C-alpha cells in the first residue's frame, strides 16, 4: 500500500502525541528489533521508532525496517521515524485514512 502525501501528513499529525515504542540501538537492526516492530505494528498500526545510529545510517535503517516489517514510512524527523501498517481486518483498524 502506497501512502499519498495527504495521508502521510495526516498520520504524522496522529503520531504527534505518541511515544516511541521501538528503539533501534547503535548496533543497528537485529532480528529482535524486527520481530518487536512486527508485534507493535500488529497492535497499534501507527508506531514511532527511535534510532540511536548516526545520521547517515538512520535513513537506510528506516527503509530497511519498513521493508522488513511490511510497513510504510509516514515520516522521519531527527532520530524518530513514523511507521504505518494498516490492519488487514477492517473492524480492527484504529485509523481511517483520508
pLDDT tens per residue across span 1-13: 789 999 999 999 9
Q: Decide if 29 contacts 65 (C-beta within 8 A).
A: yes
CB 7 within 8 A of CB 88: no
In which band, very low, low, confident or very high, does the pLDDT at 39 lie, cut at 50, 70 and 90?
very high
Architecture of the domain made up of 5-87: 2-Layer Sandwich (3.30)
Question: With contact defined as beta carbons under 8 Å apart, do 70 and 47 qualify?
Answer: no
Is residue 55 over pLDDT 90?
Answer: no
Q: What does the block give as the cell for 46?
A: 501507527
Residue 91 has pLDDT above 90, yes or no: no
pLDDT at residue 36 greater than cutoff 80:
yes
* Cα atoms found within 13 Å of the Cα of residue 70, Cβ hemisphere only: 11
- Whether the CB-CB separation of 84 and 1 falls below 8 Å is answered with no
How much is the mean pLDDT over the chain?
Answer: 93
**The whole model's pTM is what?**
0.92
Amino acid at each position: 500500500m502506497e501512502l499519498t502525501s495527504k495521508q502521510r501528513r495526516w498520520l504524522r499529525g496522529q503520531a504527534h502525541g505518541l511515544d516511541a515504542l521501538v528503539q533501534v540501538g547503535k548496533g543497528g537492526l537485529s532480528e529482535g528489533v524486527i520481530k518487536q516492530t512486527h508485534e507493535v505494528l500488529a497492535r497499534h498500526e501507527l508506531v514511532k521508532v527511535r534510532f540511536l545510529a548516526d545520521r547517515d545510517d538512520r535513513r537506510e535503517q528506516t527503509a530497511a525496517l519498513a521493508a522488513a516489517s511490511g510497513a510504510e514510512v509516514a515520516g522521519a524527523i531527527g532520530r524518530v521515524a513514523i511507521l504505518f501498517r494498516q490492519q488487514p481486518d477492517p473492524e480492527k483498524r484504529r485509523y481511517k485514512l483520508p
